[in-house]
Structure 1
Amino acid sequence: MKKTFYLALLWSAFFVGASAQTNIRLTETTLMHEMRATPYPKDKAVVDDRYVSFQWPLRADANINADILDGMDAKSVRKVDKTTLHYQLRYARDKEFKKDVKQVETRWPFYNPDKDLAPGKWYWQYGYVNEAGQVEWQSTQELTVGDNPKKFCPPSYKEAIAKVPATHPRIWVQKAGWDAFIAQAKPKAEYQWYLERADKVMQTPMKTVKDINTSQVKNLTNQMQINSYLTRESRRIIDAEEGNTEALIRAYLLTKDRKYADEALKRVLEMTDWDKDKNVKGDFNASALLSLCSMAYDSFYELLTDAQKKTLLDAIREKGGAMYKHFNNYLENHIAENHIWQMTLRILTMAAFATYGDLPEAATWTDYCYNVWRARFPGLNEDGGWHNGDSYFTVNTRTLIEVPYYYSNLTGYDFFSDPWYTNNIMYTIYQQPPFSKSGGNGSSHQNVGRPNSIRISYLDALAKLTNNSFAADFVRRTLKVEPEYMKKALLNKPGDLAWFRLQCDKPLPEGPGLTALPFGRVFPETGLASYQTNWDRVGGNAMWSFRSSPYGSTSHALANQNAFNTFYGGKPIFYSSGHHIEFTDVHSMLCHRATRAHNTILVNGMGQRIGTEGYGWIPRYYCSDKIGYVLGDASNAYGKVISPLWLERGKVSDVEYTPENGWDDVPLTKFRRHIVNLGKTGFIFIYDELEASEPADYTFMLHTTAQPMTVDTSNPRFVHVQGLSGRGGASDAYIFSTGTLQTDTTSQFFVPPVNWLRADDKGKFKKYPNHWHFTAKSEKAKVYRFATIINTHALKYPAKDPEILSDGRIKAGGWLISVNVSASGAPSFFIRSTKDDVSITYKGEETVVNENGYVTTMRDVVPDLEI
């Protein structure tokens, strides 16, 4: 369909001739890096919320992403022996490093001083030690340490390791307090959960690697598919047996009943070599076996024969050594090495402390694990967001709780006083309110239909550990509906916190609940935002989420810069589309990760780069209950895929980054998307500024996953698109634009989703459903603007079309909107409420909110980023 939609608003003339814009135009190819490219703290940084940890990039010849190396011809890359790498660090008050200099040598590209630096100005410098033993010093960095008595300063490794008991068990329970732990645990529901599972396991025959289903290998087309399929099928066997055996170990620790120990040990000893089977693939399988060996060694120490101890220690040495070899001089610099962060670092940590003093290598492992946590974890940036999205966030749950909880108990220092955790609670709450769909970012986001039991367990733990009453209210609301909801996570590999609840006797705190929270929150460093209208009743809550992220679309993140999603009653309406079949599956890459899958804009039909190079950012934002505002900038996101990592991944997965598939250079110079949250009305206003160095066309996109959209082009002033939640909610979008739009809708994907990987335990492959896609394509122009009003509401209360007043203003939901959608004049809008004393004005160089007589002026601010 083709029709002209042009709104000549008289008010726009008011801004013609406005002063020159002072917007920040970033020129960096990337804001974040797959591997560290900048020292930390950055030059002239001020650090006042935590101790100083010095970190720096790997030497150039060692700074090769392991994922790339795995896919390259070994002869084309010089492999560096990471065990030979050494660095020097020096820091002092004296810029010339001539007086009172502290100088150390380290084997890793970071250093945590034993004591925090005194307040004031410091200078520091790192250097690479070459083969001749000479130090190649790098540039001097200036640092100011703040005087904050409440800063996060955990004890040094020397202090921590001195407190490791010589006796066993010492990880899941400590020998000295074992009987007291059992007495404390008995009255709790989780005690019975573990025993019920263990008793069932005692009657269940053990499966072996011979039970791995390889029947589909012959039907797969490339090595990526074969490896992924075998990884999944081997995990199906190993994860199940890991859970069964872990239940037996925990049952023994809860009862001291020898029958559980004997059965568990028999199973562990049989499994020690499973990772050598040709059909066992993936680091999660190797880590599962390391976990079982180390937990059996620690938990059954006094029951083991010398031969059994040797067998277990040999297995731990081999598997733990392989993990450390991979982590060493790699993890420290990586933006987000998913599997390591999710599980394998936790497992190596527990194995290291379980065998410290018994296995010589464990001294190095404990040193590394403890110090890399102090340097890098639990999050990259301070805002508490998780750039990989909600589905993969919960895979980190046990790591985020169990590792710092162990360190807290070991040292007596509260590792949860790290301010990141308080912010992360807000991320966990805002990106997925009670009983609601997730914000819709990251791989597999569609699978997260409501906060799962793992997420509730996580909030329960953090509520108790940080005395956070908002998290406690979230948990109480959930358990009121389903009292044993957290049992669903029992023995879940990445997310079971039942053992933590047996260990921790703290009650859920009392205090302000969710209704005391603001209705919106922005996470500028992660590049996320979400706003809603009702914390108290999910059934009446209109919510929207937004992403414009410095992380780009690497890891599990998507190419959805400046994209939004809408929700009503906890269900998605205008929502990101496509299916995550496998990390680099063709459909997953072209129809789930790619920009065409999201509620954002294509330029000349092309999408945003895959990799950190396809980035966005949030220059301005404002949060209050009367009005909210987010500005996202995706001006740098588009173009050819240039990431070496993602080019290699595409090559081995038969993914072609061609113009036909949606990637090419485009003349885009500006794409700024403003979203104004119009109080608690369910209305939002979206304003898109698009500019190019030569005429280009711009495609505005909307998607639904529950029901088809309806499109009405009968009004010459706007396009009306309605999306339905399928559960009594609707979003009505009214799209105004500079000129002619060509609209289209389809229920077909660019590439059909083929389920070649995810069979059920009976070998059946469920089909993936189609989604619905709306596009509105402009004519070619150097300057183009869209203005969109979206009303998200209960379907039983039909939406009314916006009213166009005689002076060109738009009236919608108790708000008056003036906007320039013409290509001439400065980009601008002015919105005010007809009921409250609140307004927002945008004139390009600044955004001004006037709320109850208080004026807030916003100009661009680049978020403070690491890596």
Structure 2
Amino acid sequence: MNRILLIAALLTGMPAAAQPLLPAEKRLDRPSLHPRYREWMQPAGGVSVPRNPPALLWPAGGDDVSGYRVEFSSSPDFPSDKTRTGDQEWAVCALHTPLAPGRYWWRVTAFTRDGVPQRSETCDFVVPDSARRFATPTGGELVRRIAAMPHHRLYVTRDGLGAFRTRSASNPEAREFLDRARKRIDMDLVPIAPTRPRDTTGMSPFQKRSLINFMYHKFGEVATQPIVDFSLAWLLSGEEAFLDAVVRHARHVAAMPVDSDATSEDFNRSAIMYGLAFGYDTACDRMTAAERAAVLEAIRVRGERFYRQYVRDFECHSMDNHVWQHTFRNFFFTAIATLGDLPEAERWLRYCYEVWCGRFPILGGDDGGWHDGSSYMQANLVTFIYVPFVLTRLTGTDFFALPWYRNLPSFLVCSFPKGSYATGFGDDYEKMTSPSQLYMGFADALARETGSGEARWYADRLIGPDARNLYRSKGFTLYRILTDKPREGVAPVAPARNTSRFYPDAGFSLMHTDPADAREDLMAAFFALPFGSTGHAHAAHNGFTINYGGRQLFGGTGYYSNFNDKHTLLHYRTRGHNTILADGLAQVIGENGYGWLARFADTGALTYTLGDASHAYDSIRTPFWIDRMAQSGVEYTRENGLGDPGVTRFRRHFLFLKPDVIVLYDELAAREPVAWTWLLHSHHRLTQPAAAAVEADNGLAVGRMDLFTSSDLEVKVSDRFYAPAVNWKKRTGPDGKVMEYVNHWHSEFTPPAKSRAQRFLAVFRITPAGREPLPLTRRADGCITVGSWTLRAELDASRPARLEVSDSRGNAVLYATEASKIGGSTLIRTPGEADRELIDVVPASVR
């Protein structure tokens, strides 16, 4: 029998000591769930689509591809009378018109520059009766509508100008904006100069190039802000002096070089393009023929460069950060403003429209979550509002009528409460100590556009008692002046206490005792992300953050100096999180390192989430990250904590036992014996109250973690980063002073012997200041009691995993016990209710 088990283990690549896949489990074995560039056609394989109509997506093909023919039919034979055929240059096709329920077939022929067409396989999908209908105008219809509109059209049409001015006359913010514009109308032209000067002496070529981009950050916005402001001022007032100011500044900006330290970076190039387009849309009738030609040429050369850079690339990219954050919106609006004046604008417009309809929301699904973390989510907030706002106004279709927008308010409330540290995930997370003014303006706009009471409550909490505080959210000043939807039109709805929310598409489980009041809120964020550690996300699958009173107790450590300096690559994005090291190796950076949340339940007594990070450990495979490491001088070696340790199983059960206990149970396995290291970090000093315990005090509460396993543990506690944090960019804090990167605290727990499989059980007790901690005892039979809860966990990795957690009232979580009807399921027991049996459910975003 043992020989049979051993042979089976070798054939499946599964360690003999590991637990086999159980009936309640699903294993995701794709190299990546969301590859950096699309590798398969979608929808396909007879899948039932949740949205009617779906978008058709396919890989771009080779560099020699010049375009595609898309065939879509209600018959697998593609007869002409039942087939829709169209030629296009981009690899996305939004169908726009809802389909009758039934099965459909589609295929794509790629045209190449050598003239040899390449036809794809035939794909099929099913539109069920239950699919959500969302009709949008076709690209051709949108072009015809906009082409029929004379300038100005981007934000305010000629037909709507009178109503806009009448409404704005009673808008205090619009009046203040106009007063400021009048005072600045004779301002000097903006010179080409760094927005934040730095000394680059002694830096490597890579650091120097990065710092030059840093020095000219937002120069394009600064240079074109007078054009944007004076254009809006004219729309508000009709005063012709503003048109003259627009022309004066546009003439100056149009003469700037396309490629220079100040103007070549993509943010700056797109901001210049957009600013000129807004000015042209507003003041083209005021310009001479030569001025119009100069402005249009400055727009055209930049726009065409973006188009050539994007087409058959961007639409197939899992998440091109800068494009979605800024440049896509600027490019789209430029196309709207110049349609009919630049021949290329129609192609730009149709491309942007198809990508938006076919791909958004790019880093989420229907659940309202967002993959990148709270800091870089805010980089997208302006696009989230202005693109659907403009499209809704131009078409009459509500582009906010997506489930993602409807569910987004709860994600804001639970991921980033007022006065609180956020989820502790994603680049720049250490700065996310309370929502910014941008979040305030975004939530206000979201409430107006969706009618969400939760968004209204969140925005009002951030605004505070003085309504004028909203004016500080400059990114949404234009929206508040343009919209005809009043703030008072939506009644606020506060979130309930003991609120937990689940966002499997993005990969977050968020738990709170009181999201409405951070002062006494215990917040836990648990994450495992299907998109992988792409973009600004981190290789921190099955990681977590625990906050109390709005401050971090346990969570990620380190600083974001640059996208890929040594500290970022070796500590901040990987081992600086509360995860697992295998043979000292961290999770892999890239799309091939991913996780996912498989189970979730929330009751009045507890929240349970199961995360799977079995695919988070691998060799780095993405050429982008290999190149970035080389540029940063980071060697991809095991000595640097990088490489594939052969992990085959990392399932983490995360239990929040309300209101003050958190339990983690880890199941680990690898192809060969490895040293397993359990990581726990904090911004605060870690002390050791016992041999296998650490404690942190954030000034408002004490958090203690006791770790249990089947053997002794070697424990290391340190206040040194794995790779030093150096503020070589001289980043400044809110006070304008250069930030000091102080050390954080780190603990490592490692069994003395290597093994193919391992179990850990961690128990956290969070004790508010001035209170006594809950008692914790461990009996001789291994049973643990903490407060009113009793825990039994199988820590012997040679035996099947098992977890039982129950309290004196009859609440329980039973994993892989005799109570399961399906092997390996999780039973959630609540007094007076039928048991709930949980099995793995694959997130909709990866089905």
Instruction: Answer whether TM exceeds 0.5 for this pair.
Output: yes
Q: SS at 2:771's partner residue? A: coil
> For the residues of structure 2 that align with 1:793 and 1:260, how far apart are their CA atoms?
60
Match of 1:310 in 2: 293
Alpha-carbon distance in structure 1 between the residues aligned to 2:765 and 2:226: 50
> 8 Å contact 2:195–2:215 — kept in the other structure?
yes
Mapped pair 1:743 → 2:724:
no
For residue 52 of structure 1, the aligned residue among 54, 62, 76 is: 54
CA-CA distance at 1:782 after TM superposition: 2.3
The residue type equivalent to 2:312 in the other structure is N
Q: Residue 698 of structure 1 aligns with which residue? A: 676
- DSSP 3-state at the match of 2:386: helix
Q: Which amino acid aligns with 2:739?
A: K
What corresponds to 1:35 in structure 2? 37
- How do residues 271-286 of structure 1 correspond to structure 2 at under 5 angstroms? 271-276=253-258, 278-280=260-262, 281-286=264-269
Q: TM-score, normalised by structure 2?
A: 0.92
User: What's 1:6 paired with?
Assistant: none
The residue aligned with 2:524 is 544
Measured after TM superposition, the shift of residue 392 of structure 1 is 0.8
Q: Which structure 2 segments of 5+ residues have no match? A: 1-16, 818-822
CA distance in 2, matches of 1:544, 1:353: 44
**Match of residue 90 from structure 1:** 71
SS at match of 2:400: helix
1:118 partnered with 2:100: yes
**2:224–2:253 contact (8 Å) kept in structure 1:** no
Q: Equivalent residue for 1:854?
A: 834
For 2:172 and 2:766, locate their aligned partners in 1 and report how far apart those are by CA, in whole Å: 41
In structure 2, the CA distance between the partners of 1:246 and 1:387, relative to structure 1 (3 Å rule), is: same
* Structure-to-structure mapping, 1:95-114, within 5 angstroms: 95-98=76-79, 100-113=82-95
In angstroms, what is the RMSD of aligned CA positions? 2.6
Write the letter of the residue equivalent to 2:690: T
1:542 and 1:529 map into 2 onto residues whose CA distance is 14
**In 1, Cα distance between the equivalents of 2:20 and 2:337?**
66
Q: What code does the residue aligned with 2:330 have?
A: I
On the 8 A contact 1:566/1:792 being kept in 2, the answer is no
Residues 132 and 51 of structure 1, relative CA distance in 2, 3 Å threshold: same
The match for 2:687 among 705, 710, 714 is 710
Bigger shift: 793-802 or 355-364?
793-802
Contact 2:810 2:829 in 1 (8 A): no
Match of 1:241 in 2: 223
1:358, 1:498 → 2: CA distance?
A: 25
Q: Hey, what's the Cα distance between the residues in 1 that align with 2:739 and 2:419?
A: 26
Structure 1 segment 95-174 matched on structure 2, within 5 A:
95-98=76-79, 100-113=82-95, 115-131=97-113, 133-148=115-130, 151-164=133-146, 165-174=148-157
- CA drift at 1:298: 0.9
The reply to whether residue 670 of structure 1 matches residue 649 of structure 2 is yes
Q: Which 10-residue stretch deviates more, 22-31 or 651-660?
A: 22-31
- 2:759, 2:265 → 1: CA distance? 48
| Corresponding residue for residue 725 of structure 2 | 753
Size of the alignment, in residue pairs? 818
- C-alpha separation in 2, matches of 1:748 and 1:765: 21
1:588 paired to 2:589: no
Task: Measure how far apart 1:722 and its partner are.
Answer: 1.4
Greater RCO between the two (CA within 8 Å, min separation 6)?
A: 1
Q: CA deviation at 1:648?
A: 1.2
For residues 303-322 of structure 1, the C-alpha deviation after alignment (integer angstroms, 9 at most, x for no partner) is 22222211211111111111
The equivalent of 2:577 in structure 1 is: 598
Identify the residue that residue 626 of structure 1 maps to in structure 2: 605
**Distance of aligned partners of 1:242 and 1:18 in 2 relative to their CA distance in 1, 3 Å threshold:** closer
Q: For residues 836 and 246 of structure 1, what CA distance do their matches in structure 2 show?
A: 63
Contact 2:614–2:649 (CA<8 Å) still a contact in 1? yes
One-letter amino acid of the counterpart of residue 638, structure 2 = P
Contact 2:368 2:408 in 1 (8 A): yes
Contact 2:336 2:345 survives alignment (8 Å): yes
1:399-422 deviation digits (Å, cap 9, x = unpaired): 111111111111111111122211
The alignment status of 1:441 with 2:408, answered yes or no, reads no
- Give the Cα separation in 2 of the matches to 1:279 and 1:534: 48
Task: Note the alpha carbon deviations across 1:605-626, whole angstroms, 9 max, x for none.
Answer: 1001110111111122222332
**Compared CA separation, residues 256 and 534, structure 1 to 2 (3 A):** same
Pick which of 159-168 and 824-833 moved more. 159-168
Letter matched to residue 689 of structure 1: E
Q: Deviations over 1:822-864 (max 9, x none)?
A: 3342111111122354544344711111223321111222223
Distance 2:86 2:130 in 1: 26
Opposite residue 675 of structure 2, the aligned amino acid is: D
Equivalent of residue 369 in structure 1, options 337, 352, 358: 352
In structure 2, how many angstroms separate the alpha carbons of the residues matched to 1:351 and 1:517? 45
* Contact map agreement 2:218 2:267 (CA 8 A) in 1: no
Task: Tell me, yes or no, if structure 1 residue 424 matches structure 2 residue 408.
Answer: yes
Tell me the distance in 2 between the aligned counterparts of 1:24 and 1:687: 18
1:481 CA drift (Å):
4.7
1:21 maps to amino acid = L
Secondary structure of the corresponding residue to residue 51 of structure 2 = coil
Provide the secondary structure at the position in 1 that maps to 2:615: coil
Kindly tell me: are residues 89 and 592 of structure 1, through their superposed partners in 2, closer, same or farther at Cα, counting changes over 3 Å? same
Query: CA offsets, 1:438-482, max 9 Å, x none?
Result: 111111111111111111221211212111111111122222355
CA contact (8 A) 2:143 2:346 kept: no
Q: Are the structure 2 counterparts of residues 670 and 753 from structure 1 closer, same or farther at C-alpha, using a change threshold of 3 Å?
A: same
> Equivalent residue for 2:748?
775
Instruction: Single out whichever of 734-743 and 754-763 deviates more from structure 2.
Output: 754-763
| Residue number among 467, 481, 505 corresponding to 1:525 in the alignment | 505
Q: Mind listing any 5+ residue stretches in structure 1 that lack a counterpart?
A: 1-15, 63-79
What are the superposed Cα offsets for residues 75-117 of structure 1, whole Å, 9 maximum, x if unpaired? xxxxx4x6xx121222222223346222322221122335332
Task: Name the % identity.
Answer: 28
The residue that corresponds to 2:337 in the other structure is 354
| Cα-to-partner distance string for 1:743-770 (whole Å, 9 max, x where unaligned) | 1111111222222224559997433221
SS in 2 for 1:219: coil
Paired residue for 1:287?
Answer: 270
2:551 to 571, 577, 580: 571
Per-residue CA deviations over 1:184-224 (Å, capped at 9, x if unaligned) read 123223214423543564475444114567652332112x3
Contact map agreement 2:98 2:133 (CA 8 A) in 1: no
Asked whether the equivalents of residues 460 and 508 of structure 1 are also in contact (C-alpha less than 8 Å), the reply is no
Aligned-pair distance for 1:35? 0.4
- The answer (yes or no) to whether the contact 2:546–2:552 under 8 Å persists in 1 is yes
